[in-house]
Amino acid sequence: MAENWHRIRRQEPDVMEVARRASSIEVIEMNYGEGEARRQGARCLRCNVNTVFDTSICIACNGCVDVCPEDLIRLVGLSKLAADDHWQALAEPFFGIRPSSSAHESGDLDALGAIMMKDETTCIRCAMCASRCPTHCDHDAAF
């Protein structure tokens, strides 16, 4: 990737003027000039990367959290999820906690573990999390 790739803004290509576009079937987006095409191409973030983390080998080092340029990966303690019935139902089979569990009330949930949450809707597919992982728990990353 180009140096400072995360600071290079997307430049929309020029488009045909509205009056001409309204009565035409021509392509309305113009091509980039060579210089701008190269600059935009340097922004390529390998959109084919889809990191899927294997939680059985993740050591919760937070390396992926630290390196994510979009700040979209979080290691969230179970106590933060306890108020959400949906998340609690997902965690129950792994930790053996029922919603009425005394651990829920005593605040000991964080001692049982945490859940890694990644917002896929804002992920830019840069794969920095996968390259930073010391255990390579990103077994399904498509490189």
Domain count, the chain: 2
Does one domain contain both 123 and 93?
yes
Does 141 reside within a domain? no
Q: pLDDT value at position 115?
A: 77
Q: pLDDT value at position 5?
A: 67
Does 92 reside within a domain? yes
What confidence category does residue 107 fall into, taking pLDDT thresholds of 50, 70 and 90? low
Does one domain contain both 23 and 68?
no
Q: pLDDT value at position 98?
A: 63
- Strand (E) or helix (H) holding 13: none
Q: pLDDT value at position 25?
A: 86
Q: Say if residue 102's pLDDT is above 60.
A: no
Does one domain contain both 125 and 77?
yes
Cβ burial of 8 (10 Å; 0-12, 13-18, 19+) is middle
Does one domain contain both 116 and 72?
yes
Higher pLDDT, 49 or 38: 38
Q: pLDDT value at position 81?
A: 73
Question: What rounded mean pLDDT belongs to the chain?
Answer: 76
Q: Which domain holds residue 21?
A: 5-41
Does one domain contain both 29 and 77?
no
Structure tokens at 84: 């959400």
Does one domain contain both 125 and 72?
yes
Q: pLDDT value at position 99?
A: 56
For range 93-113, the mean pLDDT: 62
Do the beta carbons of residue 81 and residue 115 sit within 8 Å? yes
Does one domain contain both 78 and 37?
no
